[in-house]
Structure 1
Amino acid sequence: MTALRISTAGLYAQGLQGMLQQQQRVARTQQELVGNTRLLRAADDPAAMARAQQLDHALASLGQQDRNAGLVQHRLRSQESALADVGTQLNRARELAIQANSGAMSAQDRASIAAELRAVRSELLAIANRDDGNGRRLFAGSRDGIIPFADNGGTVSYAGDDGRNAVEVAPDQWVADGDPGSEVFLRVRTGDGIVRGSAASGNTGSGVLQSSAVADHAAWGGQPLRVEFTAADSWRVLDPDGVELATGSYADGATISAGGMQLSLTGAPAAGDVFTVEPAPTRDIFATLQGLVDTLEAPAATAAEFARRDNLVGAALGDLATAQDHMLALRSGTGSRLAALDTAEDARGAGDLTLQQSLSELRDVDFAEAASRLTLQLTALEAAQKTMLQVQRLSLFDRM
């Protein structure tokens, strides 16, 4: 009797254990199918789970880079639009300067042009302080939370910095989301971008500098040169040390060449008048416009005063033309960065595809295999349940 009782209990325990194991297998396979993952717990495959976590992290990084790229693209497009607006204002300023350079203009006409140039300058200042629509200033450098430019009685100050916000838009690919205002509006080359000619403010003759340029870069050497009129019809060219490089006679419309430099003058310079050609310095665009306004508003009654005005307006025309080129170069750089974002998008797409494929190989369920396995497991579970029923019916009386 004892032997029979032990045998029945053992059969029952074995059957119960088998049924529970089959239930666990069925439940696990069902979880795999519902979640489309075969890595339900780290213990299932520690190495695969660790690798999957690495891939998940890499995918999350790509997602952040994608969001970064969207923000950078928005700011660069905003900058491109702002630079286009700057170009429009500079075009208008140059048109006005050309009008003002005409001898047929009256003092009232020049005053009217000066007023419009003030409006152009104010509009440029507003563009320089423009934000991206999200509260971040476009031209403040890395200090984009502040208003960068302020007009202090005709002189513009800059509270931003020279920084650029470089943002990762693809693995190991960084793109700056803009250019600092110091580079856009303050450090603008003058003259023709290489040299700038000017007439001394104390000149007493009517000589007007029409053009200045480097004729021979090797001979020039990058040094400033000074043209002095020793008489109304004679000149000499001096280097920075006062060494005389050349002398010559002058007639209206003559071209003076020396030290690799070439100047064209009209009018009648007086003895002692000086014209200088130097490497083109940088100047802020607001100062260029303010200087032009001041020139047009200044009274002129003598030949020397008329020449002084013509020299200043002519120099401003050259400065504005170079400023236009400067803005076009910045727009080109902005366009290059926008193109880099397109390349980064392709890189992110390729990286995402590779990571997703690797993750799928590690984690995704083979539905056909899992479904077939589930069918077998359900069959085995049903058999185990039948066995349990049979064991439960066994009793001592059935054996007697």
Structure 2
Amino acid sequence: MRISTVTVYEQSVSSMNRQQAGFLKTGQQIASGRRVVNPSDDPQAASRAVGVSQAKAVTEQYADARVGARNALAQTESVLDSLSSVLERTRTLLVQASSDTLGDADRQSVASELRGLYEVAIGQANATDGNGRYLFGGYQDGSPPFQKDGSGNIEYNGDSNARALRIDASRLMQVAENGENVFLSVPGTAGHLACADEGNAGSVTFTGPSVVDATVGEHRDRHRVAFAIDAGGAQTYTVSRYDEATSSWAAVPGLEDLTYESGKPVTFAGLSMVFAGDPADGDRFEVAPAQKMDPDIFRSFEQVLAVLETPADTPMAKAALRNTLNTAMREFANAQDNVLTVRASAGARLNELDVVDSVGANRMLNYEQTLSDLVDLDYVQAASDYSLRQVGLQASYEVFTTMKTMSLFSRM
């Protein structure tokens, strides 16, 4: 077998190149801190690392979504806190205005402060999230959800939806409230309300209603107490029940043309009320669960302001004042309970975000550890390999240097 000089030269160069490639690869691993620099270094680990990286990216997106959710909920909670303070002050002023010691001028002063609170409530209802979106407009968050119509009444222009964000793979969280839920609703635990008809001309005032027999299912329906004065001056009343199916009122059997006695309790459908004063023919009072009385914070403000700014110089005006304030105090109490309920819900979701953040952080740590196990470099092992390859490279240099000068002629 013959070995030519060219063959010896090529083998030496090839060995030197292999040593240099291994040395450079180890240096690249040390510089990058990764064992798997290219997929060819460890195809299986590289493939698994791609899947873990994708899962990690998704988890990071959920974390960003939670930041947005937390900001939205914090702003909502802050607005509801302010609104609760407004309603608390409103209730205090209504108690003050109901005092018989106040005159028309005093009630005008109360009305002035109430009007300021009314405007504050409208401002809170049209609060934005800092990005130009209205908090309480539902999906219609590009324009103010509460605006005055041609008659000066506040109307809701949003919808009944609520924006939500997916904060985790299995959790879609509501991050905003719609105006109906906050300003046009009452909690399920709200009691009953009574209100006097705006056209009442008598001096009858009411107390109640209160539930005296919860087993009577009809107490959950709308009822109306209507007064009548016959030709002889006798005062009677009739209780009617509203039929949801036919959208009409029908007298309750056995509760027709009953004799009215001022101050005597009137009992019907498991409810009890006390009427006092002299009715006019056609005076009416409606009684129903608060949920069926079309709750509306702004309408309550408007009714109270109207009656406080009207002089109570007649028995009819005094009765209207008393009845309106009685109804409004219950309405605002229900409204505040509703706001506190919604605020508690927002607070619970904020707490849930903290829990989900903790779970997400632990998940990210697991992903980081898995990625490290798959592709990160063991620096101790890499340093040893680096030194070994450096020695091998230097040896290949020396072998090449020695071999290139050797010749059979030098042995002759």
> TM-score normalised to the size of structure 2?
0.88
CA contact (8 A) 1:191 1:322 kept: no
Structure 1 residues 192-207: aligned runs within 5 Å:
193-207=190-204
Deviation at 1:378, TM superposition (A): 1.7
Report what 1:238 is aligned to.
240
Q: Note the C-alpha offset of 1:70.
A: 1.8
Q: How many angstroms does 1:357 deviate by?
A: 1.1
- CA deviations 1:43-73 (Å, max 9, x no partner) are 2233322221221122222222222222221
1-structure distance, mates of 2:188, 2:45: 66
- Stretches of structure 1 lacking an aligned partner (at least 5 in a row): none
1:115 is matched by which residue type in structure 2?
S
Tell me which residue corresponds to 2:7.
Answer: 10
Pairwise CA distance, 1:375: 2.1
Contact kept, 8 Å, 1:142 with 1:161, in 2: the verdict is yes
Report whether the alignment pairs 1:322 with 2:334.
yes
- Flag the 1:339–1:327 CA change in 2: closer, same or farther, 3 A: same
Contact 2:187–2:337 (Cα < 8 Å) also in 1: no
- Distance in 1, Cα, partners of 2:90 & 2:60: 45
User: What are the equivalent positions in structure 2 for 1:1-400 lying under 5 Å apart?
Assistant: 6-152=3-149, 153-185=151-183, 187-189=184-186, 193-221=190-218, 222-229=220-227, 235-240=237-242, 241-246=250-255, 251-269=261-279, 272-280=282-290, 281-400=293-412
Q: Distance in 2 between matches of 1:250 and 1:242?
A: 16
Query: Residues 220 and 250 from structure 1, CA distance in 2 versus in 1: closer, same or farther, beyond 3 angstroms?
Result: farther
- Contact kept in structure 2, 1:211 and 1:265, CA below 8 Å: no
Number of residue equivalences: 396
Give the Cα separation in 1 of the matches to 2:167 and 2:240. 54
Give 1:263 deviation, angstroms: 1.5
- Separation (CA, whole Å) in 2 of partners of 1:97 and 1:190: 21
**What's the CA shift string for 1:340-373, capped at 9, x where partnerless?**
1101111111110111111111111111222222
Residues in 2 aligned to 1:306 and 1:11: alpha-carbon distance in whole angstroms = 121
Q: For the Cα contact (< 8 Å) 1:236–1:244, is it kept in 2?
A: no
Q: How many angstroms apart in 2 are the aligned matches of 1:52 and 1:293?
A: 68
The answer to whether the Cα contact below 8 Å between 2:187 and 2:341 also exists between their aligned partners in 1 is: no
Identity %: 32
SS of 1:227's partner is: strand
Q: Distance in 2 between the 1:191 and 1:179 partners? A: 17
* Structure 1 vs Structure 2 CA RMSD: 2.4
Q: Provide the secondary structure at the position in 2 that maps to 1:244.
A: coil
Listed one character per residue, the Cα deviations across residues 198-243 of structure 1 (whole Å, up to 9, x for unaligned) are 2233434322111113333331332222334456665453334313
- Taking structure 1 as the reference length, the TM-score comes to 0.91
Is the Cα–Cα contact under 8 Å of residues 170 and 345 in structure 1 kept in the other structure?
A: no
Which amino acid is the alignment partner of residue 153 of structure 2?
Answer: T
For 1:275 and 1:129, the matched residues in 2 are separated by 34
Out of 16-25 and 168-177, give the one that drifted further.
168-177
Per-residue deviation, residues 95-148 of structure 1 (Å, max 9, x unmatched): 222222122221222222222211111111111222233433322223434333
243-252 or 11-20, which deviates more:
243-252
Q: CA deviation at 1:398?
A: 1.3
Give how far 1:310 is off.
1.1
In structure 2, C-alpha distance between the alignment counterparts of 1:32 and 1:91, rounded to whole Å: 67
Q: Deviations over 1:174-219 (max 9, x none)?
A: 322221223222x223998342212233434322111113333331
- Flag the 1:155–1:192 CA change in 2: closer, same or farther, 3 A: farther
CA offsets, 1:266-303, max 9 Å, x none? 33445654332123223321111011111112343322
CA distance in structure 2 between the aligned counterparts of 1:196 and 1:309, rounded to whole angstroms? 16
- Cα 1:244–1:16 change in 2 (3 A) is same
Q: C-alpha separation between the residues in 1 aligned to 2:237 and 2:267? A: 11
The separation in 1 between residues aligned to 2:16 and 2:179, in whole angstroms, is 75
Rounded to whole Å, the distance in 2 between the matches of 1:191 and 1:304 is 34
8 A Cα contact 1:208 1:311, kept in partner: yes
CA–CA separation in structure 1 for the residues paired with 2:180 and 2:41: 59
1:307 offset after TM fit, Å?
1.0
